[in-house]
Structure 1
Amino acid sequence: MDIIFLHVVHVLAALGLIGLVLIQHGKGADAGASFGGGASQSFFGSAGAANFLTRSTAILAAVFMLTSLALAWQARQIANEDGDLLPALQKIQQEVPQVDTGVPVVEESAAEVPQVEVESPASDVPVVE
């Protein structure tokens, strides 16, 4: 139950962080605002939006980082409870019955490719050696 709550908070923090970053104006928008472009249309006033959005972004970034660390810690705890992954895979391979497919197994010594001499086609162009 705790891990579901943590996942929900993590996803909501990520979506909120994305939204807040997209709402904020970059530093290049200040030049256009000085000619009367943005101050009259802002919801929070001329300077109030920057402080509110900056604080909200910082808080959501902190929540996102903390939930990321908590999820990583929980994943590590779950992995340690189950043990190593390799012995689990070996156990699964031992439990699965071996099926004879009828395909012969090629040994490494037989896997060498024989060298075949290719004769050059007869042509009027002389071969330079």
Structure 2
Amino acid sequence: MFTFLLVVQAIIAAALVTVILMQRSEGGGLGVGGSPSGLMSARGAANFLTRSTTVLATLFVSLSIVLAVIASVQHAPGSIDTSLAKTAPAAPAGNAGPPIAAGGDPLAGAAQAVGNGSASAPASNESVPLAN
């Protein structure tokens, strides 16, 4: 049923696009005007295309709502499968990581080490191969 209505929706959409493109706009557009000597006059064609557009647009919106309701009923959420759920492994007790300073700032020890000059820096540029 859902697939059938979806195909009908696509046909209505294609017809709606065709009818809209056939209408004469202010700039001429892709309008197809009838000649007065034909079966339909230009005014009659415009009235017919306007009414067709209204009917097709109403059908398109109505069918969109019906399809949304059907899709929400068919694809209702079911139970969650927990067979693949895993628990996170516990952290090893021996490796607690670096100590945190008394203030609670993990970067405080690094800032003190740089401020005291205790960080090792190269003494000269001789160790750099491209310095020569």
| TM-score bracket for this pair, using the shorter chain length | 0.5 to 0.7
Corresponding position of 1:35:
none
CA distance in 1 between counterparts of 2:54 and 2:15 reads 11
- Runs in 1 of length 4+ with deviation above 6 angstroms? none
Corresponding position of 2:43:
47
Corresponding position of 1:64:
60
CA distance in 1 between counterparts of 2:105 and 2:62 reads 57
How many residues align structurally? 94
Q: Measured at CA, do residues 9 and 113 of structure 1 come closer, stay the same or move farther in structure 2, by a change above 3 Å?
A: farther
Identity over aligned pairs, percent: 31
CA distance in 1 between counterparts of 2:24 and 2:48 reads 13
Mapping for residues 21-32 of structure 1, pairs under 5 Å:
21-29=20-28
Letter in 1 for 2:33: S
Corresponding position of 2:17:
18
Deviation of the 1:8 alpha carbon: 0.7
Letter in 1 for 2:21: L
Corresponding position of 2:84:
96
Please tell me whether Structure 1 or Structure 2 has the larger radius of gyration of its CA atoms.
Answer: 2
List runs of 5+ in structure 1 lacking aligned partners: 30-37, 120-129
For normalisation by structure 1, the TM-score amounts to: 0.54
CA distance in 1 between counterparts of 2:55 and 2:84 reads 51
Corresponding position of 1:114:
106
Where 1:26 maps in the other structure, the secondary structure is coil
Where 1:88 maps in the other structure, the secondary structure is coil
CA distances 1:67-107 after superposition (whole Å, capped 9, x unpaired): 1121122123224xx4xx3x633xx2x2116498x9x69xx
Q: Measured at CA, do residues 97 and 72 of structure 1 come closer, stay the same or move farther in structure 2, by a change above 3 Å?
A: closer
Q: Which deviates the most, 52-61 or 69-78?
A: 69-78
Structural RMSD (CA): 3.5
List runs of 5+ in structure 2 lacking aligned partners: 35-39, 98-103, 116-132
CA distance in 1 between counterparts of 2:33 and 2:85 reads 69
CA distances 1:48-70 after superposition (whole Å, capped 9, x unpaired): 22111111111111111121121
